[in-house]
Amino acid sequence: MKLAKDIGCLACHSIDKKLLGPAWKHVAAINRDDPAAEARLMSKIAKGGSGVWGKIDMPAYPDLSEENRRVLVKFILSLE
């Protein structure tokens, strides 16, 4: 959670409520049984994007290390 706070994720996301972006529990529920989810979400963090959860663009975080992206995605996917 500290990593998410430090890089600004919580400006657009929360654990259980939709803000500008989806609630992370919703992201986890949709991706829970998808073996490709971790890689896809890590890529989304690095490259940003739009259109998956609405019209608002998610900014890219290309300078966030692969290790930190993995930690963040594993945290999100662990939420129930």
**pLDDT per residue as tens digits for the range 38-73:** 999 999 999 998 877 778 899 999 999 999 999 999
In order, the DSSP letters of the chain are -HHHHHHTGGGT--SSS-SSS--HHHHHHHHTT-TTHHHHHHHHHHH-B-SSSSSSPBPP-TTS-HHHHHHHHHHHHH--
Phi/psi region, residue 48 (left: phi>0; alpha: psi -120 to 50; beta: rest), is left
Total-model pTM = 0.90
Question: If you classify domain 2-78 with CATH, what class do you get?
Answer: mainly alpha
Listed by start position, the domains of the chain span: 2-78
| CA 12 – CA 33 distance, rounded (Å) | 25
